[in-house]
Amino acid sequence: MAARAYWQGQIRLALVSIPVEVYAATKSGASISFRQIHEPSGKPINYEKVVQGIGPIDRDDIVKGYEISKGNYVLLEDEEIEAVKIESRKTLELVQFVDAHEIDVFYFEKPYYVVPQDELAHEAFIVLREALRQKKKVALGQLSVRGRETLVSLKPCGKGLVLETLRYEDEVRKAQTYFKDIPDDKPDKEMLELAGTLIDKKSAPFDAGEFEDRYVDAIRKLIDKKAKAKGKTILEDVEEPAPSGGSNVIDLMSALKKSVKEEKPAKKRSSKKSSSSGKSGGKSGGKTRKSA
């Protein structure tokens, strides 16, 4: 494989060890980054390390500090921090198996592809993959990489496995904090059916290729125009929302009925496209879920 492995080691299930390689399943998108420029000179702006009341300081005088109270810090040397780092291990021990739906979507962080390291590992790898698929379970363990220990899950994905890094419990805010003021009212039955009809009309198999980052495309076009215009200001035309006539109060029932009548069904992918669009090569075990 052309990509560099994120981790190489062995997955251990009791006395069974499976040599594997782990590769990042995602890559940086087509993001646009900007530099701050000093307009009179056209030169990029750099940043100095400055101490209030002292001014610019030497980088050699910088140490890491943890604020324990306002203005009070515990200072730590790099050697002290290195000494407490978790030793990187080459074994991922599978310590628990859970149903996929038991893990809230908030815990999932980043996906990785897992493949057998060599032909000798194929048999054990396939046995683990199919056992997880048959039982509809997700395996859990902790992976030690670069001095830190990360909680991970493992599940089938086509002919391979997908490892996903998970957040620890204290990294996830409780939903109830935000949802507590939402009433428990039951919706009107007819409106619920109309909303369901709209959902049915707009339902289609997931295809990430159908979606594009329109902001990035627009910025790129703007940069191209500006480069050709030799730096002159270019203001893009922006469509103003049409003024709403009459009352601001929306009749939800009328809006739903009108939407059902006017909404066009979602585009259905052709069977040819559907069979070739999945990058993973097949369905994962359990319920389908879009990674965070």
CA–CA separation, 63 vs 61, rounded Å?
7
Structure tokens, 12: 């251990």
All residues at 6 or more sequence positions from 174 whose CB lies less than 8 Å from its CB, including other chains: none
Regarding predicted confidence, which is higher, 285 or 118?
A: 118
Q: Any idea which of 19-23, 118-122, 142-146 has the lowest mean pLDDT?
A: 142-146
Q: What is the pLDDT of residue 288?
A: 41
For the chain, the distance separating the N- and C-terminal CA atoms, rounded to the nearest angstrom, is 25
Max avg pLDDT among 20-24, 47-51, 263-267, 271-275: 20-24
Q: What are phi and psi of 153, to 5 degrees?
A: -120, 160
Regarding predicted confidence, which is higher, 278 or 197?
A: 197
Average pLDDT over residues 214-240: 72
Convert the pLDDT of each residue in 190-221 to its tens digit.
989 989 898 888 888 878 777 777 777 787 78
pTM of the predicted model over 0.85: no
Q: What is the pLDDT of residue 131?
A: 95
Average pLDDT over residues 227-249: 60
Residues 265 and 197: beta-carbon distance below 8 Å? no
Q: What is the CA radius of gyration of the chain?
A: 27
Residue in 172, 161, 102 with CA at minimum distance from that of residue 130: 161
CA–CA separation, 264 vs 255, rounded Å?
15
Q: Does 3 score more than 90 pLDDT?
A: no
Q: Does 27 score more than 70 pLDDT?
A: yes
All residues at 6 or more sequence positions from 60 whose CB lies less than 8 Å from its CB, including other chains: none
Dmax (CA) for the chain in angstroms is 73
Convert the pLDDT of each residue in 51-74 to its tens digit.
888 888 888 888 899 898 888 989
Residue 284: band (very low, low, confident or very high) from pLDDT cuts 50, 70, 90:
very low
Relative to beta strand 96-99, strand 137-145 is antiparallel
Q: What is the pLDDT of residue 278?
A: 46
Residues 44 and 53: beta-carbon distance below 8 Å? no
Residues 20 and 121: beta-carbon distance below 8 Å? yes
Q: What is the pLDDT of residue 29?
A: 67
Cross-strand bridge partners of residue 114: 22, 161
Residue 28: band (very low, low, confident or very high) from pLDDT cuts 50, 70, 90:
confident
Cross-strand bridge partners of residue 152: 141, 165
Residue 87: band (very low, low, confident or very high) from pLDDT cuts 50, 70, 90:
low
> Which 8-state DSSP code applies to residue 274?
H
Q: Which amino acid is at 78?
A: D
All residues at 6 or more sequence positions from 128 whose CB lies less than 8 Å from its CB, including other chains: 11, 13, 16, 18, 161
Q: Any idea which of 9-13, 86-90, 92-96, 170-174 has the lowest mean pLDDT?
A: 86-90
Cross-strand bridge partners of residue 154: 139, 163
Q: What is the pLDDT of residue 244?
A: 53
All residues at 6 or more sequence positions from 92 whose CB lies less than 8 Å from its CB, including other chains: 9, 10, 11, 12, 141, 142, 143, 152, 154
Residues 98 and 278: beta-carbon distance below 8 Å? no
Cross-strand bridge partners of residue 161: 114, 156
Mean pLDDT computed over every residue of the chain: 81
CA–CA separation, 57 vs 59, rounded Å?
6
